[in-house]
Amino acid sequence: MKTEIRPLLMCFALCVVYATSKPTEKKDRVHHETPLSSKEHDDGTNFDYDHDAFLGEEEAKTFDDLTPEESKNRLGKIVDKIDADEDGFVTEAELKAWIKKAQKKYIYDNVERQWKDFDMNNDGMISWDEYKNVTYGTYLDDPEPDDGYNYKQMMARDERRFKMADGNGDHIADKEEFTAFLHPEEYEHMKDIVVLETMEDIDKNGDGFIDLEEYIGDMYNHEDEMDEPEWVSTEREQFSEFRDKNKDGKMDKEETMDWILPADYDHAEAEAKHLVYESDTNKDGKLTQEEILNKYDLFVGSQATDFGEALVRHDEF
């Protein structure tokens, strides 16, 4: 059994250190959606934003040195992957799903790096027992370690999350389920567990709600300071005016979800609509591979793309 602290334990430990060592620095519990690209979205200048959005920033760079023929060839293979139901058309929904996956590549890469550590029998799946033994092996050998962590509570919390991620309830996770376990904030069906874990962290009196004192106490450790930073006063106002929607002096589950998982503007959906609008020659609301390849410079880059020509074709459509 391995003795090092595994990723989730390390995360827990860092959160404890963070909360106690930086009294003036605000802890942010809100899960913000990452922009599709750092570049400006202006099709009148270039399609760099669209390339980053469609492929992911790192993957988009790999097209820059390709000829148009090579770019089209690679794009054609990607289109086949996007067409999930294999009906010969790419819908807006399929494009949106592809963009979201391309944007989360760093998450999938992270899971790939960890996968071999947990899949002990190399069967392509990770059971709860495998995860438990690798992560909590030392604790299972010594149920009362003297390091200040409540491993029993942490293991029970992990098992609850594992069960939530395990769609078919067999206590065994495939790669997508394990990704949901490690990164629950990225999955719609895992949002309740993210809210529950957050409330458990902050709700010190155990009444099932987050009051103002608990809300501020989670962000700010005031023991070592005489004067509160200005942002603390602002957060008190945020709690009273916006977080506590029903004005009962505390946040319930729904109010906590609105706080940490806000319904942000859906950038992937907007980009999918944009790509379909710009490429859908016959305006039937879906794209054929031919329509996409005809607008390959919108989707992917190449070393020989003539942007002037692209704009001419753009105007023709």
Name residue, tokens 């980009």: 271
Please give the Cα distance from 278 to 308 (Å, whole number): 16
Spell out the SS3 assignment of the chain. CCCCCCHHHHHHHHHHHHHHHCCCCCCCCCCCCCCCCCCCCCCCCCCHHHHHHHHCHHHHHCCCCCCHHHHHHHHHHHHHHHCCCCCCCECHHHHHHHHHHHHCHHHHHHHHHHHHHHCCCCCCCEEHHHHHHHHHHHHHHCCCCCCCCCHHHHHHHHHHHHHHHCCCCCCEECHHHHHHHHCHHHCHHHHHHHHHHHHHHHCCCCCCCEEHHHHHHHHCCCCCCCCCCHHHHHHHHHHHHHHCCCCCCEECHHHHHHHHCCCCCCHHHHHHHHHHHHHCCCCCCCECHHHHHHCHHHHCCCCCCCHHHHHHHHHHC
- Predicted pLDDT at 143: 67
Q: Tell me how crowded residue 127 is: count the other CB atoms within 10 A of its CB.
A: 19
Query: For residue 44, with 0-12 CB atoms within 10 Å meaning exposed, 13-18 middle and 19 or more buried, which class applies?
Result: exposed
- Predicted pLDDT at 2: 43
Q: Which residues of the chain have pLDDT under 70?
A: 1-26, 143, 145, 147-148, 223-226, 304-317
- Predicted pLDDT at 223: 66
User: Domain ranges in the chain?
Assistant: 47-141+149-209+252-301
- Predicted pLDDT at 113: 93
- Predicted pLDDT at 315: 43
- Distance set, CA 290 to CA 73, 110, 114, 202 (Å): 12, 35, 39, 53
Return the bridge partners of 251, or none: 210
- Predicted pLDDT at 263: 85
